Structure 1
């Protein structure tokens, strides 16, 4: 992302101290000062990280197929005096955004990096085993049995797996402990502070759910700043997320969800959800 796309890595939280867990996002140099257009990319859930769409495609195909690199390179292109169209090609989906004389500013979210894992100390392990509402006698008997089981298991593990994993605990990143929190945090500290008149989102799979949650939490701001949203196999659900009527109406006008389908590209696909239009991505392969 830094070498190929010339993006900069920005640490989160913005006011993080040295000792606390941290995450990051990628941004183009002009992301916050581009007066015209800003493109925000959000990938799905699982093992993918900032700048990736699908690891399976990265491994089996190439970087152009499984990463956001082609999107970013095309978005930050500087045009001359003639307009050009920016084609989103994930899942063979094309969404045209008209450009003027500058490229897009770009922000790449990193919604799956929510915590770090650290090895538990002996005191923490002991504390977790001591916390119980059971009577002392019953707990002592259970502890004795567990110690015997652990002794036998450790003896076995010593030969089966010499590199046995240590017992760990998760420490969540402040204000970024979930994809939804991450999207809202990046909106509050970066996207909403940008100079761009038009903000565009491309959100894949769970990224679509995170965007809808952002709309629920920041409805007026999103409506004022976001021009269009391209969803790809989004897993959002307006009923489960309790999306109000005004948001559903906005989504019908400003969002489109390209879904896995064997129908020709852009063929309308029926949906029982009263939100944005759903059309065929022209492929039955779903990226996860």
Structure 2
């Protein structure tokens, strides 16, 4: 029988191995022990040369393998890929992840929106995946906790806006920017699925994307979105037409040197801010996860008690 084709994830793992690294069973990136060919005890080291440019090139080449590995882990955890825009050539399309594969009348739906830059679906922070572990920097802990609590899931992929073909990078029309991506997903995936109750967790620039959704789909948000958890989000002041709603359902866990959930000073008529329990921006989603799910569940209980 012919060998099975190598998957993108397997190719990424091979590339990692070529760089001298592999993830151990705990999801920590380790240097491969030459004696065993298995992950050893040493973790990732940025400095591989006296040349700073060479170090950065090495880091980026290694980091480029992370998306496919995380995609495979999302699929291993039961999520399915949907290509967008719908009904287009998958090779020239972006995609999102969801569970179930086709969302339909979810009793509880959790939407995860990452930040800007080079992160893709399933990631909060590449640097944490590389320097700490998959659980620290990926959305997998959120996936597992949401599944445990009975949520359907939708994971956005807002930075995946182009494909290389015909010798050049081409934008994916319809989802060519993070703003257009989130609006497309909301209009074509979320709204038609008619979810009963929706919660959102959004990191960094994901906060700006969420506010854009609120502005464009305000009636739906007021009716169905019962909790919005931001982690050190980038956003302006909410507009007066939806300020009261937003302040009622939203909390932002921000980088701070104070203990988790300590209230942080805020201006009048603004979204509640509390400490994420960590001083670094990229750590906030990982650090605040227990508090965030407690907040979401409390908001859901309030919603069900109103009915």
Question: TM-score normalised to the size of structure 1?
Answer: 0.68
| Aligned residue number for residue 193 of structure 1 | 192
Q: Is 2:81 the partner of 1:9?
A: yes
Query: Which of 140, 153, 175 is equivalent to 1:106?
Result: 153
User: Per the alignment, do residues 197 and 115 of structure 1 end up closer, same or farther by CA in structure 2, a change over 3 Å counting?
Assistant: same
Give the superposition deviation at 1:249: 1.4
Task: Answer with 1 or 2: which has the greater Rg.
Answer: 1
Higher helix share: 2
| Aligned residue number for residue 125 of structure 1 | none
- Larger RCO (CA within 8 A; separation ≥ 6): 1
Q: How does 1:1-288 map to 2 (within 5 A)?
A: 1-17=73-89, 21-29=92-100, 32-33=103-104, 35-77=106-148, 103-118=150-165, 168=168, 170-238=169-237, 243-272=238-267, 274-287=269-282
Count of residue correspondences: 211
| Kept in 2: contact 1:13–1:22 (CA 8 A) | yes
In structure 2, what is the Cα distance between the partners aligned to 1:109 and 1:195?
A: 18
| Kept in 2: contact 1:36–1:195 (CA 8 A) | no
Cα deviation 1:236-276 (Å, max 9, x = unaligned):
112xxxx4212111111010000000011111111347431
Give the superposition deviation at 1:2: 4.0
Structure 1 residues not aligned, in runs of 5+:
78-98, 121-167
Give the superposition deviation at 1:191: 1.2
Task: Give the SS at the match of 2:186.
Answer: helix
| Kept in 1: contact 2:199–2:228 (CA 8 A) | yes
| Kept in 1: contact 2:112–2:201 (CA 8 A) | yes
Structure 2 residues not aligned, in runs of 5+:
1-72, 284-307
Give the superposition deviation at 1:277: 0.4
Question: TM-score normalised to the size of structure 2?
Answer: 0.64
Give the superposition deviation at 1:34: 5.1
| Kept in 2: contact 1:30–1:105 (CA 8 A) | no
| Kept in 2: contact 1:31–1:105 (CA 8 A) | no
Q: How big is the alpha-carbon RMSD for the aligned residues of Structure 1 and Structure 2?
A: 2.0
